[in-house]
Structure 1
Amino acid sequence: MNSIRLPAWMSGIGGANTKSLAAPILIIMLLAMMILPLPAIVLDLFFSFNIALSIIVLLTALYTVKPLDFMAFPAVLLVSTMLRLSLNVASTRIVLSEGHTGGAAAGKVIEAFGHFLIGGNYTIGIIVFIILTIINFVVVTKGAGRIAEVGARFALDALPGKQMAIDADLNAGLIGEADARKRRSEVSQEAEFYGAMDGASKYVRGDAVAGIMVTVINVVGGLLIGILSHDMPVGEAAKVYTLLAIGDGLVAQIPSLVISVAAGIIVSRVASDTDVGTQMVGQLFAKPQVMYITGGIIGGMGLIPGMPNFMFLSLGAALGGTGYMLDKKRKEAEANGTADRPAGGGGTAAGGAPAAGGQAAPAENEEASWSDVQAVDTLGLEVGYRLIPLVDKAQSGELLKRIKGIRKKFAQEVGFLAPPVHIRDNLELKPSAYRITLKGVEVGAGEAFNGQFLAINPGMASGNLPGLATTDPAFGLPATWIDASLRDQAQGMGYTVVDAGTVVATHLNHLITTHASELLGRTEVQALLDHLGKEAPKLIEDLVPKMLSLSALQKVLQNLLSEGVHIRDMRSIIEALAEHTAHTQDPGELTALVRIALGRAIVQQLFPGNGELSVMTLDNRLERLLMQALATGGADGAGIEPGLADTIAQQAAQASQQQEALGVTPVLLVPGPLRPLLSRFLRRALPQLKVLSHAEIPESKTIRVTALVGNT
C-alpha cells in the first residue's frame, strides 16, 4: 500500500500545535455563547465544566511551590471570568425566555442549585447569594487585589537590586553564567507576574459586581416577562423567576469564589520550598506547647454544664495527644543529633578530606604519643555556634555547596585545585563571628548574622537603612545588616543585598584568590604535573627533574601567582622553562622569561577585548635614575634613595587613581630589567597596580600613554 505524505504545513497541525489552537477556539466559543441561544443540556455541560475548572485551579494553586510555577494563572483568571460571564448571558437568555415553563427550563444544574442547595425557598436563596457575594467581593477579592498591587510595586522597585545581587554572585563565583541567566529571567518573570496579577484581580472584582447586577436583572426582568407576557400570578412569577435567578447566580458565584480563593493563595504565599498545605500543617502543628494549651482550653470548656461535653472533651484529648507525640518526636531527634555529633569542636571539610574532629578530654594516666601531633590545615574556616546551620550537612548548609563552587571556579580560572577548606565550630568565637585561617594563621575574620541580610552600598545607593552599620569584610565597602523584611526595600534603593552564607563565601573566595601563591605547595605542583603528564608525558619527563627541580618550578609558579598571573596555560609555561633552563636556573629570571611567553594571556587578562592599551610609563629621567640604582644596588634595588622611593610611590598612586577614574586597570609599563624591582616595591602599597615590561606586550597591540610617573 502506498503511503500518503502530507505537506509540512499540514503535518504541523497535529501534535504540539493542537495546544496552540485551544485559546482561539475557547475565545470563539465564549463569543458564541453570548450571541447564539444554547439548549439546556449544553448549559448543564458548561456549568459543570466551569465548576470543575475552578476546583482544578484551586488545587493547582494549593500544590504550587512558587508563584512562577503557575505563571499562566493571570490568563486562566481572565478566561475563567469570561467563561462565567458568557454563561450568565446564555443562562439569562434561556431563563427569561423559557422560565415560565418551570424550574428545569434553564437546565438541571441551575434547578439543583435553586432547589436542593437552598431548599426551594427564594428568601433563603437571596440571603445565601448575598452572603457569598459579600465574602467574595469584600473579603477575598479585595484582599487578593491589594496584595497583588503591593507585590507588583515591590517586585518592580526591587528589580534593579536583585539584578545587582545576581551580578555580585556571578562575580564572586557562587553561580555560573547559565544560573545567572536563569535567575535574571526568573526576576523579570516575577515582576511581570505580579503586575499581571494586579490587573487580573480587577476582573474578579468586576465579575462579582456583574454577578449581582445580572441576578437583579433576572429577577426584575423575569417578573415583568412572567406577569406581562405569560399572564402568571405575581406570587408564582416571583417564586419561579427568583429561584431560577438565584440558582443561576449561585452556579456562577461559587466557582467565582473558588477562583478568588485560588488568586489569594497565589499572591499571599511567602516563598518557600514546600506547597501551601505542607507549609500550613508543618507550622500550625509544629509546637507541642501550643497543642497542650489549646487542648487544655478546649477540654476546660467541655466541663462547663450545657456545653457539648463529649465533643469538646474528645477534641481536647486529641490535641493533647498530638502535643505529646510532637514532644516525643522532638526529644528523639535531639537525642539522635547529640549522639551523632562530637561534644565540642567538631568539623567537616568542604571539598574533600575530613577535618579533625573534636577531641575528648585526655585520660590522666594516658601517655603522650605521636597521634597527639596534628597537622595544620592549609585552609580553615572556624564559625561561632550561630553559624553552624550554614555548615552543617544535616541541616543542608548552603555554605558547604558554595565553598565547593568556589574551589571549582578557582581551579578553572587560576589553573590548580586549591586545598580543601576544613570547617569547624569554635566556641571561643562570638556567636555570629567567623575567621579564616591559612596554615593555622588567621588571614581574615568577620561577623555574619544568620537570618539577616547584608545590604552593601556599591557607591550609588540612595538613602540609609535601619540596622547594624558595618563594612563588607571582603572589599571594605560600607554596609548594613538588615532584617529579612527590609530586603526588597534595600534592593529597590540600589543596595546589593546578600545573605550571611554569601558574605562568608565571598570573603573566603577573595582571600583564596589573594593568597593563591601560598596555597600552591609541592603537593599541588606534583598533582598539576601528573595531570598535564596524561596529555604530554614526554614534555614533563624532559623538564622535571632532569633540567629543573620541582622546588624551582614551584617558585616560578608562585612568583606568577603572587602578581595575579594565572597558570592555566601550563603547556606554555613548561615549554618556556624547557627552552631557557639550560642558560639559567634562577627562579626570578625564569619567571621573567615565562611572563614574556604568557604576554598575550597577561594582557588579555588585564585588558579584555582588542582595544588599545591605556598605560602609565616612567619619565625618561626617572627611568635613567632607576637603571643606575639597579646597576649599583643590585636586583633588590637597595641603591634607591628613600626620598626618591617616596616620590615614586606617591606619583604612582596618583596616576593609578587617574587610570581607575578612566575605567581601566592601572598598569605601569617599564623596561624589562626594572619590572621585578618596581613590582615588588609597589605591590604592598598599591595591590591594584600591575607592572608590565615592554617585552610582554604583543606586537599587535596599540599602546596609549595616559600618565607619566616622575614628570615633576
Structure 2
Amino acid sequence: MQVRDITVLAAVISVVAMLVIPLPHWLISFLIIINITIALLILMTAMNMQEALQFSVFPPLLLLVTLFRLGLNVSTTRAILSEGDAGKVVETFGTFVTGGNILVGLVVFTILVIIQFIVITKGAERVSEVAARFTLDAMPGKQMSIDADLNAGMISEKEARERREKVSGEADFYGAMDGATKFVKGDAIAGIIIVLINLVVGIIIGVVQQGLPFAEAAVLFSTLTVGDGLVSQIPALLISTATGIVVTRAASNGNLGSDITSQLFSQPKLLYVAAGTIALLGIVTPVGPLITFPIAIALAVGAYMMNKSSKEDPNEIEEFEEEVTTDNMKSPENVINLLNVDPIEFEFGYGLIPLVDTAQGGDLLDRVVMIRRQLALELGIVIPVVRIRDNIQLQPNEYRLKIKGNEMARGELLLDHYLAMSPGDDDSIEGIDTVEPSFGLPAKWITESVKEEAEILGYTVVDPPSVVSTHMTEIIRNNAHDLLGRQETKQLIDHIRETYPILVDELTPTPLSVGEIQKVLGNLLREHVSVRNLPIIFETLADYSKMTSDVDILTEYTRQSLAKQITTQYAGNNHVLKVLTVSGRVEKLIADSIQQTEHGNYLSIDPNDSQAILESMAKEIERASLMEQSPIILCSPAVRVYMRQMTARYFPQIPILSYNELESSIEVQSVGVVNVE
C-alpha cells in the first residue's frame, strides 16, 4: 500500500476513534478548522469541474466528511456537557460571530439550518433522484448509439470502449449520488437534534450538577451551543452547496465560473435594460440615486464594452472564413485524408434506410456485429469495421458491397416482400422473379399474404435483412484473404506472442518476415481454411521454413498439419468422404508441365490439355451435383497446388484436397474420376 492509502485509512480510523475517545480542547479546535478547510476545498472542486465524472469520488467522500463532522459534533458535545468548554474556535463563533447576542446566534443558526435542510438539501436530493432515474433509463439507448457509431466506422474500438465506460460510470455515479444525498439530509437533522441536546441538557447539567444559577447556565451553554452549531453547520452548508452543484452540473467545456459569466452576460442589450430599470428604481422610489446609480452606470459601461468587443466587420469575417477554407483545401493533410480507403463499405439507396434506422425497427447494425463475430470465430482473423452509408447515386432499393474500394457485389431488396426459394420444380407461387444474391439460385419476391402458403409448399422464405446479411457474410468470407494485410498479420503475431513468445521469436523476423507469413495465411484463407489455430500453423512454418522459403510449398506443409481441421470441415461427423478423384494420367500431365525456375515453380500446360481437364471436371461436378453431393476434388500432394492454380478461375468454390490432408480414419469413396482421353 502507498503512503496516501495508509493516510486515508488512518484518517477514517481516527474519525471512528473520535466517537469514543475524549479529545483535548486544542485538538478539537484544530480539527474544526480542518473541517472548514475540507468543505471549502470540496466546494471549489465542484465549481471548477466540467462534468460530474471528473469528481466521481464525491459520493464516498461525502460519506466520510459527514462522518468526520458528526464525530466532531460528538467530541464538542462531550466537552460542552462535561467541562462547559469546547475550545477557542467554538467560543469565538459563540461570542464574536453572534455579536454577544445569544438570541441572534440562535436565529442565525436556525436560518442556516432552514437554508440547508429545506432549500439546498431537499433540492439536491430531488435532482439526484431524477438524474439517477433518467440516466439509468437512457443507458440502453446510449449503448446502442455507441454500437451504431462503431459499426458505421465513425469511432474506433478504443473510443467505443471509452464511451461505454463513461456511460456506465455516469449511471453508477448518479445512482450513488441518489443515496449520498441522504447523508446530507440526515446530517442536517442530526445537527438540529444535537443543538437541542446541548442547549437543554447543558442548562440542566449547569444548574443541577455544577450549581450554577439558571441565568448564568443558560448564557454559558447557549453560547457554546450556538458556537458548536455554527462551526458544524457552516461546513455542512458548503458541502450541501457542493452537492447541489455536482448533481445539477451539465457537461460543458468550461468550469462553473466561466459558464456563468459567458452565458449570463452573452447579450449586452439586456444589460442596458437592467441598467435603466435600476436607475429608474432610484428615481421613482425613496431608495435614492446614491445607491442605484453606481450599479446602473457599471451595468451600462459593461454592456458598452462587451458590445464594442463583439462587433466586427461582417466582410472581414467572411473573408477570413473563405481564407481558412482555401487553406484547408490546399493543405497536404486534407488531401491525404481523401486517399483513405475503407476495408469494407456497405452502400445503399435511400429506399433501404429503414434497414439501418433503429427508430424504424432496422437491425442491420446489430447483424453486422454478429457477422464480424461469426467470421472471426470461423476464419480466425479480425474482420475490419464495416462502414455503412447511404448513396443517392444508387437506385432506391439497391445496395452494393465494396472491399478495399472495389465493388464486390450488388443487389436489390424489396423491403415489403420476402425472398422465397423453391425446393424443386414447383413454380406455383406468385411473385417477382429474381436471383438469390448469395448463391445465385432462382427465387421470387413474395408478399406477406402468400408467405404462409410458400412455407407449406416447402419454399425457403427469408426476410430482406437476412438476405443482405447472408450476402454480406458470403462476400466477406470469400474475400477474407484480401482483408488480411501485413498490419493485420502483425496484430495476429502480437496476439499469439502473449501466450507463445518462444514460438514467435523462432519464426519471425527470421527465417520468415511478416509479409511471408501473411502470404501463407492468405493462401489458406483463399481456399476457406481457417487460420484460427495459429500455434499449429506457426509450429509448421518454424519447422519447414529452414528448408524452403517458397510460400506455396510452406502453404502445402501447413495444410497437411491442419489435416484434422480440414477433414472435419468437409466430412463433418461422418466417417465417409465422397470425392472426385484425379486420374493418374491427368496428374502425370500436370506434373510434366511444371516448370522449375530460380524464382519458384509454375504450371505451363498446353491449352488443349488444360481445356480437356476443365471440361472433364465440369462434367463430373455437374453429375455430383445432380446426386445432391457437394463436389470435392482429391489428388496427390505433388500436384494439388498446381491443380488449384489451374481451376481457381473456373471453379473457385470447389475444394481441392490432397491425400495427406485427410485423416487416416476417414473412409474415402470416389464418386467420379477427372480424366482425359
Cα offset, 1:76, TM superposition: 1.2
Compared CA separation, residues 127 and 645, structure 1 to 2 (3 A) = closer
Contact 1:51 1:255 in 2 (8 A): yes
Gaps of 5+ in 2: 366-384, 410-419, 427-431, 447-458, 476-524, 530-565, 573-624, 629-677
Alignment equivalent of 2:287, drawn from 276, 298, 307: 307
CA drift at 1:221: 0.9
Query: Does 2:73 align with 1:143?
Result: no
Shift of 1:617: 9.6
Superposed, which structure 2 residues align to 1:276-425 within 5 Å? 276-304=256-284, 306-332=286-312, 334=314, 336-341=316-321, 348=325, 353=330, 411-414=341-344
**Matches of 1:455 and 1:126 in 2, distance apart?**
63
Which AA in structure 1 matches 2:59?
Answer: P
> How many angstroms does 1:23 deviate by?
3.0
Aligned-partner residue type, residue 564 of structure 1: L
- TM-score between both structures, scaled by the size of structure 2: 0.56
**Relative to 1, partners in 2 of residues 1:459 and 1:621: Cα closer, same or farther, differing over 3 Å?**
closer
Instruction: Find the aligned partners of 2:28 and 2:435 in 1 and give their Cα distance.
Output: 94
Query: Counterparts of 1:209 and 1:644 in 2: how far apart (Å)?
Result: 76
Q: Is 1:22 aligned to residue 11 of structure 2?
A: no
Q: 1:698, 1:459 → 2: CA distance?
A: 34
Tell whether 2:161 aligns with 1:181: yes
Identity %: 34
Of residues 8, 14, 18, the one that matches 1:33 is: 18
- Tell me how far 1:120 sits from its aligned partner: 1.6
| 1:651 partner SS | strand
User: Offset at 1:339?
Assistant: 3.7
In 2 relative to 1, CA 661–174 (structure 1 residues): closer, same or farther, beyond 3 Å? closer
**Paired residue type of 1:56:** L
Asked if 2 retains the 8 angstrom alpha-carbon contact of 1:660 and 1:666, the reply is no
RMSD: 4.6
The secondary structure found in structure 1 opposite 2:266 is coil
- SS of 1:81's equivalent? helix
Alignment of 1:156-305 (within 5 A): 156-304=136-284
1:657 equivalent in structure 2: 462
**In structure 2, do the counterparts of structure 1 residues 664 and 567 end up closer, same or farther at CA, with 3 Å as the change threshold?**
closer
Aligned to 2:665: none
Decide which of 108, 112, 115 is 2:95's aligned counterpart.
Answer: 115
1:42 partnered with 2:27: yes
Corresponding residue of 1:84 = 69
- Contact 1:659 / 1:665 at 8 angstroms: preserved in 2? no
Deviation string, structure 1 residues 133-176 (Cα, Å, up to 9, x no partner)? 00000000000010000000001111100000000111111110
Q: Is the 2:66–2:184 Cα contact (8 Å) retained in structure 1? A: yes
Change (3 A) 1:217 1:514: farther
| Alignment pair present for 1:459 and 2:361 | yes
Structure 1 CA distance for aligned equivalents of residues 256 and 357 of structure 2: 30
Q: State the SS of the aligned residue for 1:510.
A: strand
Q: How much has 1:78 moved relative to structure 2?
A: 0.6
Q: CA deviation at 1:352?
A: 5.5
For residues 434 and 155 of structure 2, the distance between their equivalents in structure 1, rounded to whole angstroms, comes to 46
CA-CA distance at 1:698 after TM superposition: 2.6
Contact 1:303–1:309 (CA<8 Å) still a contact in 2?
A: yes
Secondary structure of the corresponding residue to residue 411 of structure 1 = coil
Q: Structure 1 residues 273 and 655, CA, compared in 2 at 3 Å: closer, same or farther?
A: farther
In structure 2, how many angstroms separate the alpha carbons of the residues matched to 1:162 and 1:286? 32
Say if 1:350 and 1:404, in contact at 8 Å, map to a contact too. no
Query: In the aligned structure 1, how far is the partner of 2:352 from the partner of 2:283?
Result: 58
Label 1:668 to 1:241 Cα distance change in 2 as closer, same or farther (>3 A): closer
* Cα drift, residue 31 of structure 1: 1.1
When residues 226 and 335 of structure 1 are mapped into structure 2, their CA distance, relative to the original with a 3 A threshold, is farther
Cα 1:655–1:352 change in 2 (3 A) is farther
**Which residue pairs with 2:401 in the alignment?**
564
Give a deviation string over 1:527-567, Cα, whole Å, max 9, x none.
Answer: xxxxxxxxxxxxxxxxxxxxxxxxxxxxxxxxxxx963524
Which runs of no fewer than 5 residues in structure 1 stay unpaired? 1-12, 100-104, 356-399, 416-435, 437-441, 448-453, 462-473, 476-505, 516-561, 571-590, 596-601, 603-615, 623-641, 671-694
Distance 1:566 1:351, change over 3 A: farther
8 Å Cα contact 2:341/2:404 also seen in 1: no
Q: In the alignment, which residue of structure 1 is the partner of 2:389? A: 510
Residues 122 and 185, structure 2, Cα contact 8 Å, conserved in 1: yes
CA contact (8 A) 1:43 1:91 kept: yes
Decide whether aligned partners of structure 1 residues 703 and 251 sit closer, same or farther in structure 2, where only a CA change above 3 A counts.
farther
- Distance in structure 1 (CA, Å) of the matches to 2:473 and 2:146: 33
Question: Counterpart in 1 of 2:57?
Answer: 72
- The structure that has the greater radius of gyration is 2
| 8 Å contact kept, 1:141–1:201 | yes
Task: Check conservation: 2:94, 2:226, Cα contact below 8 A.
Answer: yes
| CA contact 1:348–1:354 (8 Å) conserved in 2 | no
For residues 251-278 of structure 1, give each alpha carbon's deviation from its aligned partner in whole angstroms, at most 9, with x where no partner exists. 0000000000000001011221111111
